[in-house]
Amino acid sequence: MHERVEVMRDLLDKQLVDADDTKMGRVDGIVLEIDGDKQPRIDHLELGFIVLARRLGPRVEKWFEAIRKRWSVRKSARQIVPWSKVLDVTAHEIKIDVKAMDTPAFDWERWMRDRVIDKIPGSGDDD
């Protein structure tokens, strides 16, 4: 990891990959911890549509939250990645120490796999 990082350019909206290089979303939000007068520290990354919605304005966030409550299969809309889980920051992606399949980001993949795909013929193998 580099000594110096430009947070907006190098971290925000960056592609996240897991330990196996599986893509698992983008950095939708970054949270700084400011402890009193101490130097602010990058605490964690955030993923999720709700985080994106908030970037567009508080009204969009409320509207989105209402929709999410009605339709989502997810347990939580926002995924938090503590900075301690970050393995590497490269020019193209941020690698984190998780397994994509276990994360909320892959809720839909799991749902599709369990409810839909396993029931459709021809989905188990690749050409």
Partner 1 sequence: MKKALTLALGILTSVGGFFDVGNIATCTQAGARFRFQLIWSMVLATILAIFLIEMSGRFAAVTKKALPDTIREHFGFTFWLVPFIVLTLIHILVLAAEIGGICFALHLVTGLPLQAFALPVAVLVWLFLWRATFSTIENSTSALGLITLCFVVATIWHHPPVHDVLRGALPSLPQDHASNYWFIAVSIIGAVIAPFMFYFYSSGAVEDEWDPSYIPVNRAVSVIGMGFGSIISIAAIIVAGIVLAPRGIQVDDYHQAALMLTSAFPYWGYVLFAVSMGIACLGAACEVALSMSYTFAQTFGWNWGENLNPAEDARFSLVYTASLLLGAMFTLVGIDPLKLTLITMALSAAALPFVAIPMLLLMNDRHLLRDAANGFISNLAAAVIVVITIVLAIVSIPLAFIGGS
Partner 2 sequence: MASVHVELINGRRVRDANGKVVGRIGEIIARRRGHDYFVEEYHLGPAAFLEKMGVSTARMIGWRRGGDPLRVPWQQMDLADPDHPKLCCTLDELKKMQ
- Residue ranges binding partner 1 (CB under 8 A): 8, 12-16, 22-26, 28, 52, 55-56, 92, 100, 108-109, 111-113, 116-117, 120, 122-127
Nearer to partner 2 (CB atom), residue 61 or residue 109: 61
Residue 73 within binding range of partner 2, rule CB under 8 A: no
* Binding of partner 2 by 61 (CB under 8 A): no
Identify which of residues 34 and 76 has a Cβ nearer to partner 1 in the complex.
Answer: 76
CA distance 41 to 23: 26
What count of Cα atoms within 13 Å lies in the side-chain half-sphere of residue 107?
A: 12
Kind of pairing between the strands at 93-96 and 86-89? antiparallel
By the rule CB under 8 A, 125 interacts with partner 2: no
Task: Report how far apart the first and last C-alpha atoms of the chain are (Å, whole number).
Answer: 38
- Contact flag: residue 4 with partner 2 (CB under 8 A): yes
Nearest-Å Rg of the Cα atoms of the chain is: 17
DSSP 80: E
DSSP β-ladder status, 41-47 and 79-82: antiparallel
Stretch of 15-23, 39-47, 99-107, 111-119 lying at the interface with partner 2 (CB under 8 A) = 39-47
Name the site residues for partner 2 (rule: CB under 8 A): 1-9, 11-12, 28-35, 39-43, 46, 51, 54-55, 83-84
